[in-house]
Structure 1
Amino acid sequence: MKPKILLVDDEANVLQAYARVLRGRFALDTALGGEAALECMADRGPYAVVVSDMRMPGMDGVTFLAWSMAQHPDTVRIMLTGNADQGTAMEAVNRGSIFRFLTKPCDSELLSQTLDLAVRQHQLITAEKSLVEDTLKGAIRMLVELLSCLDPISFGRAQAMAAHAEAIAREMSMENPWVLGIASILSQIGILTVPEGVATKLQTGTFLTSAERDLANRIPEIGADLIRNIPRLEEVAEAVLYMNKNLNGTGYPPDDKKDQDIPLGGRILRVVWDYERLLPKFSGPLSALRDMEGRTTWYDLDVLRAFKRCLEREDTEAPSTPTQRIGLHELRIGHVLLAGIETVDGLLVVPEATVIGLAHLQKLRNFARLSGIREPLIVKGEPA
């Protein structure tokens, strides 16, 4: 596939001249002026490289390329101008993060060579970004699998939270809804640091002493500190930190944030975490939500309304889920559990809704050797 290039100039004859030379080597679009270029990037972008003239009526090249950098940071930017003024070049580099600065009239061979270098730069940027994203996903996948192996009950609750939290984030048009899915899954990682007796009390709803309650309230803070060690998860850590914070400012952490000052991610986790704990006490999802709507000092009503819309859609659009009953030897990475997996003695090993990973398979095989696993296992269709 040819690299996508956008040429921007206010002179049609200049665009036509460059297009004749370059069109065979690149997937080329042209735009007559900055405003037309904005429309082109919105409709046909993103581009590997944009080349813009400096002096254009209306939106000049510096302004256009600065906008391009803000909206499409991976796109490589080149500026063409008849003005070789050092101040113009400096402003262009500072505002638009320019890869190359060429003076008009620009030799077509020089422009072609510069575009080759720019395309290579774009490939390096996107390859590095893909590597970082894959590394991040792998690290999160490992954390999720370890958490589910070490504490299947807490992880089961976190798994149940994740789909709801991400749905609410999308409903409220959050820029990165995936943040809430990851935050939900990792929200209970702090529980691994508390004494086993306290963790057991939390999972069974047993009475906690004052000291134990204080420790339990700090679990999100501990988890947030652990999550911050992973690059690019700062927003995830912040959401986890504020998941026990009430809208009126009470709760944890005990700072002065309240109402809209509390991060939206924290307000969403506050709702879905309590919803999962309350749901077994009510006849259905909407009745549990109605009970929560009465606690206006605890929850953000906008979050509750968005959650209600999500639940109503789930109720009307939920497709029938194909199920399979399989033996442990048939379980594969990617299978989604429709029921938790237990030992023959009734000990929960892997909770419902878990997407099976390598660590789960290894744990299940170990339990099968020592104490036996109840079969058949109930999974959703084929592995994802």
Structure 2
Amino acid sequence: MADSTPQSGTAQEGSPANARLLLVDDEENILRSLKRVLRQEPWQLTIAHSGEEALEAMAADKFDLVISDARMPGMDGPTLLAEIRRKYPWCIRILLTGYADITSTVKAINDGQIYRYISKPWDDDELRLIIRQALAFQYSERRRLALEKLTRKQNKELQDLNVSLEDKVRERTEELKETADMLDLAYKELSQSYVTTTEVFSSLINKRLPANRQPNAKVITLVKVFGEFIGLNAEQIRNLAMAAALYNLGKLSWPDDLFMAPSDLLSKDQRLEYLKYPVAGEQILMALEPLKDTAKIIRHHQEKWNGYGVPERLEGSEIPLESRILKLAVDFIELQFGLILERKVNRDNAIKLLKRYRDRLYDPELTDRFIEMLIELAPDVDHEDPSIMILDTLRLKPGMVLAKNLYAASGMLLLNEGKEMTAMLIDKLAAFEKGEPDGHRYTLYVHRPDDDETENPA
């Protein structure tokens, strides 16, 4: 029979407090050891002594994570985890294995698609960390799926609104039909593009920060433009954009005081936790094959040119090119947002700091090109760029082209950069804006027409 034991403790930020774990092993002493290691954690533990007993427990209750020994009489661990993957694919699977169990481990990876395998004897702290990371990853995936569900719901609401508008303005049916597909098209682009998906997901990360201290969107813009400026290929730019969207993913489990503090003012203990976030972000993305290159960029984006960075103290050109670029963009934006120093640094002084540390923190040649781009192109889209206008929906005109993605208050992507505005699209945005909570109003960044000589209304 399975034995269920609730645990005491405090839930880690970013993971559910009521997570349920199933521990499977035919050796009672191993199960007792696992329960001892996890007794201070907030999770509810259930034990099973065989693969068959574990499947009975899975059929009776919903579990978030299963840890199974590799070698058990009857149904072994890899076979059990493969069956759980088939019936309960949302459940995280971890294999306990001896150093000699290479065949079992390979089978578990191939058939059970396990999250991790842990060698016996295990390190207690490492075991707890792996479980926390697995649950945090599962939690973030559930949040992502909830966002996609919300997007579909709002698409449906848009379609219903289109029907109502067509009844009232029949003479403009064709134009209405074109705008009626606006969010459908945005959603299809979201599904087809990992870049856009990660940009939407990064808006969830930004919810931990005030609206005026959310760096991701500007970092994304910077790395895209700089990638084109120095001639990177499309795949490199795509990976850089995804890394820019998710570079602070490893901070999600932080308490608010650490999340809000400038990095140069951290205490010793806070500093130790801060230095772990690039690796934590990489580990969350490890299970996603299309993001393996993105995960590597994130892992090394806090390395320093002089070899005193983290996590591996890589020096000079040992640091991946994309990671060097991401560090330049992150530091340039976070300096201006007050996330590095106690005070916010204006744009010109941020450029001076990049120059000052060009051969210590940053690749000197890359830094020179980066500053050259900042001066020539001003790609960090804001009110300082004379080619960009900042407008509300009342000032929009047909033919204007968006210079920056537009998001709803909920974080849902409404329109992509480069979208040309039409009269009906403007009307539709105004209708959506009226339905936003707390009187939220849209701010749109648009390219200034060549013949426009008016001052920036912002």
Give the structure-1-normalised TM-score: 0.49
Give the structure-2-normalised TM-score: 0.42
